[in-house]
Amino acid sequence: MNKSFQPQRRIVLKHIFQYSALGLFTLLSPFAGSLVQTTQALPNAKVINLAYQSSGDLVKSKKAVEPRFQALGVTVNWVGPFAAGPQLIAALNKGEVDIGNVGETPPIFDQAARPGIIPEVVYLTGRTPSDGSNQGIVVKANSPIKKVADLKGKKIAFQVGSNAQYLLAKALKEVGLKVSDIQVVALTPPQARDAFIQNKADAWVGSDPLLAAVEKDIPIRILRNAARINTLGGFYIGRRGFITQNPQLVRVFLEEAQKVGEQAEKNPSDYAKILVDEQKLDPSVAQKVASRRTYKLRRLTPAIIAEQQSVADFYFQERIIPVKIDVKQAILAPLVYKAILPDNIK
């Protein structure tokens, strides 16, 4: 046997075992309640690795989960900041992260990059979608580019494999173009912003808080925002092995994250203050960012899963990802969701 294949084979066998265990767990439904309770009472992990992105994380800033985990004898380790979702997922696949928060695109690209392998990245909850005003395709105010169709042949800076790519691809599709019709300048979100400001790119696909800051600092025009395109709002994702072995810890985290979201939705100025203090944003920019984002989590319904599948299908049809994927391979068994989802997430 080819030795280079052996580690891959072990990964596949490991995931098959995990799926088999979940299947057995489901079949033994008369005993499931007591088994979940036992698992919840005895968390396996003594450390939980939580990812955060450079755009900020309200749960981290509020230190919302630390008291609960401390009571369980579990240490919270915040890992980051990650430039964007693709970098976060790469760390998750390496076992460096247990739970993180990303847009709709990174899990799709990750799954497409590993065809035939049960995904280690799994969906935990959805996030309430925004109205799309916090993200847009941007040009300078004096640019000759007046509409999305004018982007043909132009250099556009964005983070490949993120929701910025989905916004761009869908906006181009609306006017009969493809991503292959433009020049991709593949950079992290801060690098893409800088390239745009320095006139190294004709346009930029950006999102808050970077977008709100640029709107204040230089004259720009938004050719198309994400209204009616990025309608999913993103997801909390997790590492399959950690999630299935530590349902109590996942439940605690999600419960506290939802409490933070509920409080922030009632008082977004609280989040704005954190942006000013931690990211040194101008107060007016921070207020705009806070007003344009959403905070609460939502359960994964069949409709949300189907919508995520439609995003994946779009990427395949546009030849942006090389294989057609089944999003449901990254969905856990119903009994696992019963164990990890708190009552305050509807």
Reported confidence tier of residue 270, pLDDT bands at 50, 70, 90: confident
Predicted confidence at residue 121, as pLDDT, reads: 97
Quick one: 18 and 162 in the same domain? no
Which residue segment(s) compose the domain that 203 sits in?
Answer: 135-225
How far apart, in whole angstroms, are the C-alpha atoms of residue 140 and residue 194? Answer: 13
**Helix 163-174 and helix 302-317, axial crossing angle in degrees, nearest 10:** 70
pLDDT single digits (tens) 313-343:
999 999 999 999 999 999 999 999 999 999 9
65 belongs to a structural domain: yes
16 and 162 assigned to the same domain? no
Per the domain annotation, does 284 fall within a domain? no
The CATH code of the domain that includes 197 is 3.40.190.10
pLDDT of residue 317: 97
State how far the Cα of 345 lies from the Cα of 324, in Å rounded to an integer.
31
Give yes or no: residues 125 and 238 share one domain. Answer: yes
pLDDT band at 42 (very low <50, low <70, confident <90, very high): low
CA–CA distance, 167 with 122 (Å, rounded to integer): 23
pTM reported for the whole predicted model: 0.86
Q: Domain check: are 8 and 38 in the same one?
A: yes
Task: Write the pLDDT tens digit of every residue in 165-175.
Answer: 999 999 999 99
147, 166: one domain = yes
In a domain, 285, yes or no: no
Residue 19: is its pLDDT beyond 70?
A: no
User: What pLDDT score does 232 carry?
Assistant: 87
- Regarding whether 304 and 221 lie in a shared domain, the answer is no
Percent of the chain at pLDDT > 90 equals 79
Q: Answer yes or no: are the C-beta atoms of 144 and 42 closer than 8 Å.
A: no
Q: Are residues 103 and 68 in the same domain?
A: yes
- Give the pLDDT confidence score for residue 22 in this predicted structure: 42
Residues 157 and 85 in one domain: no
Summarize the confidence of residues 117-128 as an average pLDDT.
Answer: 96
For residue 29, pLDDT over 80 is answered with no
Are residues 106 and 15 both part of a single domain?
yes
Asked whether residue 287 is assigned to any structural domain, the reply reads no
Q: Is residue 345 part of a domain?
A: no
Q: What's residue 337's pLDDT?
A: 98
- 152 with 58, same domain? no
Please check whether residues 240 and 217 belong to one and the same domain.
no
d(CA 344, CA 321): 36
What is the number of structural domains in the chain? 2
In a shared domain, residues 16 and 59: yes
**Mean per-residue pLDDT, 161-185:** 97
